[in-house]
Amino acid sequence: MARVTLIEAVTMALAYEMEHDDRVVVLGEDVGVNGGVFRATAGLQQRFDKQRVWDTPLAEGMIAGISVGMAAQGMRPVAEIQFMGFIYPAVDQMISHAGRMRHRTRGRLSCPMVLRAPFGGGIHAPEHHSESTEALFAHMPGIRVVIPSSPARAYGLLLAAIRDPDPVVFLEPKRIYRLAKQEIEDNGEALPLDVCYTLRDGEDVTLVTWGAMTHETQKAAAQLADEGISCEVIDVATVSPIDMDTILESVEKTGRLVIVHEAARSCGVGAEIAASVAEKGLYDLQAPIRRVTGYDTVMPLFKTEWEYMPSVARIVDAVRATVEE
């Protein structure tokens, strides 16, 4: 057992899979000599050599394109984009090729690649470093979008993503890279994709969230418990495809739903969850669905980003209003 942070769990998963599958290669900007901007790949080039961990030019479209080509020919590339704000040049390759490979070739080829990127705010970064645009990739057919919220889930979900026969966008909430540690056994045991994880059982209201927001949401649930409000907290984990069965079962039990996410409010993953519950679980609801989200504007700089992101207080207020409705 090792007690590790989320970023260390990512490194651990990469190393395990590279050790046990020589098809796995790591590429990206500064991932080799420097070990990545957040040190997610620290020590991997020294351990596995430059043939399997290599630094690329500053060209995200090229990084994604090379990964698509290698994956189609049987490799399992894990590409890192330094920040999600730099990921947009790679979108063409992901939409036009990675997500379509299996369909285009009628199953003759697949695209087992992982595109990793730190995402979200909270570290006082400059512009283009704090985006939370997971809905963009969730809207792309043929691509899984996975977001870990703890060291244990980072380890298990990244292993599963690398082993998946189709492309996965793996978004790592950088605000919690080093927030907490968990004991993890480096045994190569993957966690299932496409399922939600219930972090806290409750009876009065369902709180659905993912990524770094799981921490604020759990703090809010603990505070509300002192007031006699029992919250069930669900970590979506895979935001495409979404495990709606788990969410609907919880809503059937609690009768209320509050969705929490850092991304801008309009057209987000939260809106999709709300629409699906309205279609399939409307008669279970005792109050309107509420969303606690970022705002429909660019993430503000430095200290004002905390005014943008959902806080424990905003979540608590939304739950109280939902329960009182």
pLDDT in tens, 134-155: 999 999 999 999 999 999 999 9
How much is the pLDDT for 93?
A: 97
How far apart CA 205 and CA 290 sit, in angstroms, is 11
State whether 174 and 265 are in the same domain. Answer: no
Tens of pLDDT, residues 185-228:
999 999 999 999 999 999 999 999 999 999 999 999 999 999 99
pLDDT of residue 7: 98
What are the CA-CA distances from residue 22 to residues 12, 26, 161, 324 (Å)? 16, 11, 16, 57
What does each C-alpha distance from 312 to 74, 155, 222 come to in angstroms? 46, 27, 10
Domain membership of residue 189 (yes or no) is no
* pLDDT value of position 49: 96
pLDDT of residue 128: 79
pLDDT digits (tens, 9 = 90+) for 107-125: 999 999 999 999 999 998 8
Rounded to whole angstroms, the Cα distance separating 150 from 178 reads: 10
Residue 67 lies in a domain: yes
Residue where one domain finishes, among candidates 154, 184, 214: 184
Residue 209 belongs to a domain with what CATH number? 3.40.50.920
250 and 295 assigned to the same domain? yes
Residues 262 and 215 in one domain: yes
Question: Torsions phi, psi of 44, nearest 5?
Answer: -70, -40
Question: Is residue 190 in a domain?
Answer: no
Give the domain extent around 132: 2-184
Please tell me whether residues 139 and 233 are part of one structural domain.
no
Please report which confidence band the pLDDT of residue 1 belongs to, taking 50, 70 and 90 as the band edges: confident
Task: Report whether pLDDT(301) > 90.
Answer: no
Give the pLDDT confidence of 150-169 residue by residue, as tens digits.
999 999 999 999 999 999 99
Structure tokens at 313: 């207080």
Is residue 299 predicted with pLDDT exceeding 90?
Answer: no
Indicate whether 172 and 300 sit together in one domain.
no
Please compute the mean of the pLDDT values over residues 270-276 and round it to a whole number: 98
* From 37-46, 60-69, 300-309, the region with the lowest mean pLDDT: 300-309
Residues of the chain with pLDDT > 70, as a percent, come to: 100
- Asked which of 156, 184, 212 is the last residue of a domain, the reply is 184
Residue 296 has pLDDT above 90, yes or no: yes
Kindly state whether residue 192 falls inside one of the protein's structural domains: no
43-101 confidence digits (pLDDT tens): 999 999 999 999 999 999 999 999 999 999 999 999 999 999 999 999 999 999 999 99
Q: Per the structure, how many domains does the chain have?
A: 2
Q: Are residues 159 and 227 in the same domain?
A: no
Domain final position from 132, 158, 184: 184
Q: Which residues contact 28 (CB under 8 A, 6 or more apart)?
A: 36, 41, 55, 56, 63, 79, 80, 81, 82, 116
49: left (phi over 0), alpha (psi -120 to 50) or beta: left
Q: Is 30 left (phi over 0), alpha (psi -120 to 50) or beta?
A: left
Q: What are the CA-CA distances from residue 148 to residues 7, 102, 145, 252, 283 (Å)?
A: 11, 26, 10, 26, 32
**263 with 315, same domain?**
yes
Strands annotated E in the chain: 2-4, 24-28, 53-55, 76-80, 114-119, 144-146, 168-173, 182-184, 197-200, 205-209, 231-235, 238-240, 257-260, 290-292
Is 129 an annotated catalytic residue?
A: yes
| Mean pLDDT calculated for residue range 267-286 | 98
pTM score, whole prediction? 0.97
Q: Which of 129, 139, 215, 261 is catalytic?
A: 129
Q: Does 191 reside within a domain?
A: no
Q: Yes or no: say if 120 and 149 are a contact pair by the CB < 8 Å rule.
A: no
